[in-house]
Structure 1
């Protein structure tokens, strides 16, 4: 199985990775990982590539409780979990019950500061990714490969590997641009240990991300032709579509036509919707029909790549404290004791007549009030059953807490909805194509309420995105793009630290730069208002 082979290499190579003490730039000792002795065989270059990918999944070399970012809990510093915490817990889609867990109360209530450990962990993990990529690129430059006598097919393969790690670096800078609005900028052309890197803000980051993606696309493998969980042209197209859809937020420019262009490339690349919506979120989503829909995942495995990443959090967290229904999802009956619930506003959308018969609506409402009037009372608020550590055939995953379910960072359904939104915002395309995509998603979900052109509006698309993509790390970005995140136009439970929700400041469209990162790099400046 390709996934098992890939994760074995990742976990092996991470034994060689040093610790990251600085949250801005570089591994403690790159030579531990990237010495000439390591790159002594053709296979070692693929292992080095796997080590860079491993930063998306693993937190350290000594198991799920270990972090190679010093001073942080392993779960806090996991890439996908940090991303999920920031994009979801800060919105109307989910509430975390255990507010004594460091940093999470402030995520729930939109009251974070620059000392929040969640922010510190994710900023550090992204910069660690940049550091690993930069060193891999240094060790695979033409000059270095010439000195090692590397030629022929291996040289050709390494060109693909270099394009893939450059994608991973761009992905990290994309998340920093979206979440923090700025970052220290460093590439392989800077010296190792260049802690005081210049600050790039959104315009510079956007330009770099765009140009880098366009440059590497020819060297990436064609869609669906790479090994599972490795980047291909479609992953790069998806990231371009994402930055273009949000360009008015990032750089105050309309790039919806560019978004349409790259959505068309994705939808014409041979991907297809999973036969069953639930297959995207099952333990075998790397091999069931979802493998034709998922464009780029963060992998998880209950035995080999153990980590407390987003799918482990969601599957254990969605188990109800009253229901004790964890065995339905392939974990312990009690799961994590009702850690996750949804807000009244989320539930009200799912309970609209048009979504009551829809496979995407997994609300569990019996014997529960819709409101969460006290976050500590985990018997209030509805829960959901979207994610599972069971396979599409009903078998349990390989372990009962850390799950086998991969996190679909990008999937085809999102491209369908991006196309529809970009069309409505004036990007071109046709309403017939947009309606067709929406109806494909509804038909796949066994929702009989198909739509026509007159039904489709921007607010309609926002609701469709919630129903299709909830808990997948998109909601904060969507609400900001729609002007509904800050201010008081749209309030949800516990927004602004009030049970019924209140307006929050415009400054919270970006997170503060973590205090530790400011201390490490004096070229970084704090975001306005923090």
Structure 2
């Protein structure tokens, strides 16, 4: 989206930022808009509808709920000093989270605020005389539906609010599925096709409709022992996926990791994403989150490093090993890319700034990188940068190598700074002076690979069309052809399709939703034994329930909390 859509603040509109469940907003009288054009008003009112997406997708909000609650990511109390946070990440992983969890509360509040802003925008745009307002109105409606889809997926409910002065109606189950579907369909006709991926487009709506229909069986009966995947839903998944694939507008990337590069805004695989370009002061922290605090990716910035956050569980890692044994998982280019010989050739220890580049994907074993002493990087005699084995100097453990291990758990040994294989899927932004700012890679919400995988799953669930599903999956695998692509599969089943989603979409905040749909969320994995079906959806934050207490029985806590 244009910079002005995120930054223009117009004097005529004052948007409240409270997270009140009633979704109230305050709009100043139009007489205060002297001197502003209709276009300026329209630009200004649509901007806040998107503005909180970067906050929702912050590494400690939506990512924590969708990934650390699963078998893909685990975040221990590092060294007994870091990421303790009163046990919230341990609770998230073990499914003992509560209604006072701050990450759950923050995610809820941000989504509620965003719905509120969408309602405000709709109220203004429906009477605007500017020709662009018709498109903006459709975007606001579709974004409101998207935010409600997030709420339905995570909290089991959605909010219906059409007018500013009314109290929102809370809906669940079938009613919520139909509401979101109808809202997306109502917006589709007036949306554009060529303004993505940072704005809502027809393609984004088709992808969200496919995702809604694919998960509708869960949303209708979230606590069920099994799910009824209706034929008509699977037909719709296939229909909307066909529309996207046949549109010719999107393209699978030959280079898998280019999808997650800092300049991915123009990557043809992206359908809908959080616009994080640096001119918008993006703060994509996906690269920073998992790396070691002693990995410094940028010779230009000696303060830019990782934070020793989550690693992948041994259970998830073993899905790769088991799939490709006796070969190493690196046979699949989605698993790992080596970008600098130093990581396998320690003798190559002097590297120019232009040639230094981090490896990508899942990082294992001893790590090599820039050596920092007294806040500056060590240089070789020719002025290039010294590269060598890394130790945990920033953690005051200079004898502990940055040697990532398969083991990671909540024991003392398993919680050390070196435990767990790490993920560097999104590129560490070369503009980020700290790793915590100017992360300008767009965070992906929908991309074409997911469309192929959703269509394959729908074919399997509809009529056990293994041949059709296999074609979709192998088309996707073969597309990663910058290097040798992953070998084609010979058979297809729901179990293999689930595994393939884990290979293609890891760390992309779909794992929890996938695990529930495939009946895996109550399984056991590293440090997690809880099999309570109530944990499929999160508790409504206690602050929200307290805030709505003046309306009896309006906001009722989810079962089990």
Please, what TM-score do these two structures have when normalized by structure 1?
Answer: 0.81
Counterpart for residue 316 of structure 1? 288
Change (3 A) 1:81 1:369: closer
* In 1: Cα distance, 2:459 partner to 2:265 partner: 31
> What are the Cα deviations for residues 224-257 of structure 1, in whole angstroms up to 9, with x where unaligned?
x225411111100001100111111112551112
SS of 2:189's equivalent in the other structure is helix
* In 2: Cα distance, 1:116 partner to 1:328 partner: 34
Between 132-141 and 91-100, report the one with greater CA deviation: 91-100
- In proportion to residue count, which structure has more helix? 1
Counterpart for residue 269 of structure 2? 293
8 A Cα contact 1:8 1:304, kept in partner: no
> What are the Cα deviations for residues 66-90 of structure 1, in whole angstroms up to 9, with x where unaligned?
xxxxxxxxxxx66675222111110
Structure 2 counterpart of 1:389, from 428, 438, 442: 428
1:345 aligned onto 2:315: yes
* In 1: Cα distance, 2:10 partner to 2:542 partner: 28
1:260 aligned onto 2:246: no
SS of 1:236's equivalent in the other structure is helix
* In 1: Cα distance, 2:292 partner to 2:210 partner: 37
Change (3 A) 1:479 1:190: same
1:512 aligned onto 2:539: yes
Change (3 A) 1:184 1:299: same
Counterpart for residue 405 of structure 1? 441
Shift of 1:416: 0.5
> What are the Cα deviations for residues 445-475 of structure 1, in whole angstroms up to 9, with x where unaligned?
34555335x5111111111101100010100
1:524 aligned onto 2:551: no
Structure 1 counterpart of 2:125, from 140, 164, 188: 140
Shift of 1:336: 3.3
Please give the root-mean-square deviation of Cα atoms over the aligned residues, in Å.
2.7
SS of 1:341's equivalent in the other structure is coil
* In 1: Cα distance, 2:31 partner to 2:198 partner: 23
8 A Cα contact 1:220 1:232, kept in partner: yes
Shift of 1:165: 0.8
1:172 aligned onto 2:147: yes
8 A Cα contact 1:11 1:305, kept in partner: no
Shift of 1:166: 0.7
Unaligned runs of 5+ in 1: 60-76, 391-395, 496-501
Change (3 A) 1:261 1:100: same
Counterpart for residue 65 of structure 1? none
Change (3 A) 1:100 1:245: same
Matched ranges for 1:108-507 at <5 A: 108-141=93-126, 144-145=127-128, 150=129, 154-155=130-131, 157-187=132-162, 189-191=163-165, 194=166, 196-222=167-193, 225-251=194-220, 252=228, 254=230, 255-270=233-248, 271-287=250-266, 291-302=267-278, 304-307=280-283, 311-312=284-285, 314-321=286-293, 324-327=294-297, 335-352=305-322, 354=324, 355-361=329-335, 362-366=361-365, 367-373=403-409, 374=411, 376-390=415-429, 396-397=430-431, 399-401=433-435, 402=437, 403-426=439-462, 431-445=466-480, 446=483, 449-452=486-489, 454-486=490-522, 490-495=523-528, 502-507=529-534
> What are the Cα deviations for residues 18-74 of structure 1, in whole angstroms up to 9, with x where unaligned?
4423442436634399965586442331232123211213x5xxxxxxxxxxxxxxx
Equivalenced residue count is 467
* In 1: Cα distance, 2:30 partner to 2:277 partner: 24
Shift of 1:282: 0.8
SS of 1:31's equivalent in the other structure is coil
Counterpart for residue 63 of structure 2? 84
* In 2: Cα distance, 1:348 partner to 1:242 partner: 28
Please, what TM-score do these two structures have when normalized by structure 2?
Answer: 0.77
8 A Cα contact 2:332 2:487, kept in partner: no
Shift of 1:433: 4.2
Higher radius of gyration, 1 or 2: 2
8 A Cα contact 2:25 2:120, kept in partner: no
Counterpart for residue 71 of structure 1? none
* In 2: Cα distance, 1:515 partner to 1:451 partner: 49
Counterpart for residue 39 of structure 2? 42
8 A Cα contact 1:303 1:399, kept in partner: no
8 A Cα contact 1:182 1:202, kept in partner: yes
> What are the Cα deviations for residues 185-208 of structure 1, in whole angstroms up to 9, with x where unaligned?
322x241xx4x5332112221111
Change (3 A) 1:293 1:267: same
Change (3 A) 1:331 1:253: farther
Counterpart for residue 21 of structure 1? 18
Counterpart for residue 339 of structure 2? none
Change (3 A) 1:449 1:411: closer
SS of 1:162's equivalent in the other structure is helix
8 A Cα contact 2:479 2:485, kept in partner: no
- In proportion to residue count, which structure has more strand? 2
8 A Cα contact 2:545 2:557, kept in partner: yes
* In 2: Cα distance, 1:318 partner to 1:14 partner: 39
